[in-house]
Amino acid sequence: MEKNLSDLFVDALRDIFYAEKQILRALPKMAREAGSPELKDAFETHRDQTETHVERLQQVFEQIDKPARGKTCEAINGIIDEAKEVIDDFKGAEALDAGLVASAQAVEHYEIARYGALKAWARRLGLDEAAELLDRTLQEEIKTDQLLTDLAMHEANRKAA
Amino acid sequence: MEKNLSDLFVDALRDIFYAEKQILRALPKMAREAGSPELKDAFETHRDQTETHVERLQQVFEQIDKPARGKTCEAINGIIDEAKEVIDDFKGAEALDAGLVASAQAVEHYEIARYGALKAWARRLGLDEAAELLDRTLQEEIKTDQLLTDLAMHEANRKAA
């Protein structure tokens, strides 16, 4: 049988479900390594938000009557590996925070792309409640990205230079 | 010696240089597989833009007197692998274009995150010409992402549903 938008939606849902769980594991390490209290705080707040994002995805899986199951997402693994590399290479350096912010923004942008597509597909499939949940997470990812830009502009990059 | 913002800048420059080259190789395949002429056209146009992005990066390497050398970027490799998976799984299906658009948007968002950081760091380092070049590419990536959203809304997702 030909695969359709519904299959694409479920595939992408599993991809981001896996990604969110990896992010949930990476954020405490990033918070620990961050030099500035503001950045630590941003990572900790975003960790709590990420728990909510995982729960929302579980709700979406329920709504479409599918088991909440992740699927290895090499993209997020690559992005998180690069964040770990920054931590290894810049540990103790003034530039570490600038690197951490940039890594976190790569994570956010991956999520913004995925949630944007998921929300549009949910609408197209008539899954209005799911679209609403996905949009709430999308808006939080966009806000986090903006917060990180502000932190970079006002602190991390200045300290690093 | 402690690593600084300048090292972070060069590392990220090598990361995106590698990424752009991988994107340059992936786009013709995506254009070939795309069903709609508009999407084919968008991928072909973006391939040409990507050549310019590679050239601009070479200019930035010259400006900072470093060899133009890439560094394996697992993030872009993961994102491109996911695009290939979509092509394999949805070949011939009406939903393929919707999947291709989403994959391309994941690529764009990775670049938007990286060029955003690079441009800010170039400014901070007083590399105004480099900042200008990086910003030009950043604006093109943002425009491409918007074009892809338009294509998704008006065609790919509707056809897929």
Residue A60 burial (C-beta neighbours within 10 Å; 0-12, 13-18, 19+):
buried
Spatial separation of the C-alpha atoms in residues B56 and B68, rounded to whole Å = 11
CB B101 within 8 A of CB B40: no
Spatial separation of the C-alpha atoms in residues A64 and A6, rounded to whole Å = 10
Rg value, chain B, Cα: 17
The half-sphere exposure of A161 on its side-chain side, counting CA atoms within 13 A, is: 15
Convert B53-67 to b/e letters by CB count within 10 Å (16 or more is b). bbebbeebbeeeeee
pLDDT-derived band of residue A138, with 50, 70 and 90 as boundaries? very high
Summarised one tens digit per residue, pLDDT across range A3-20 is: 899 999 999 999 999 999
Contact state of A12 with B89 under an 8 Å Cβ cutoff: no
Cα-based distances in Å from A125 to A39, A156, B84, B89, B152: 39, 42, 24, 19, 14
pLDDT of residue A155: 74
Q: Is the pLDDT of residue A156 over 90?
A: no
- Least CB–CB distance from B90: residue in A3, A81, A125: A3
CB B106 within 8 A of CB A103: no
Tell me the three-class secondary structure of chain B, residue by residue.
Answer: CCCCHHHHHHHHHHHHHHHHHHHHHHHHHHHHHCCCHHHHHHHHHHHHHHHHHHHHHHHHHHHCCCCCCCCCCHHHHHHHHHHHHHHHHHCCCCCHHHHHHHHHHHHHHHHHHHHHHHHHHHHHCCCHHHHHHHHHHHHHHHHHHHHHHHHHHHHHHHHHC
- Least CB–CB distance from B78: residue in A77, A98, A125: A77
In chain A, whose CA is at the least distance from the CA of B160? A5
Contact state of A93 with B2 under an 8 Å Cβ cutoff: yes
pLDDT-derived band of residue A60, with 50, 70 and 90 as boundaries? very high
Q: Which of A114, A157, A159 has the highest number of chain B CBs within 10 A, making it the mutation to test binding with B?
A: A157
Higher pLDDT, A161 or A101: A101
Q: Which of B1, B124, B146 has the highest number of chain A CBs within 10 A, making it the mutation to test binding with A?
A: B124
CB A21 within 8 A of CB A79: no
pLDDT of residue B154: 83
Ranges of residues in chain B with a pLDDT under 70 are 1, 156, 161
pLDDT of residue B63: 97
pLDDT, mean over chain A: 95
pLDDT-derived band of residue A1, with 50, 70 and 90 as boundaries? low
What ipTM is given for this predicted complex? Answer: 0.95
**pTM confidence score:** 0.95
Residues, chain B = 161
CB A114 within 8 A of CB A53: no
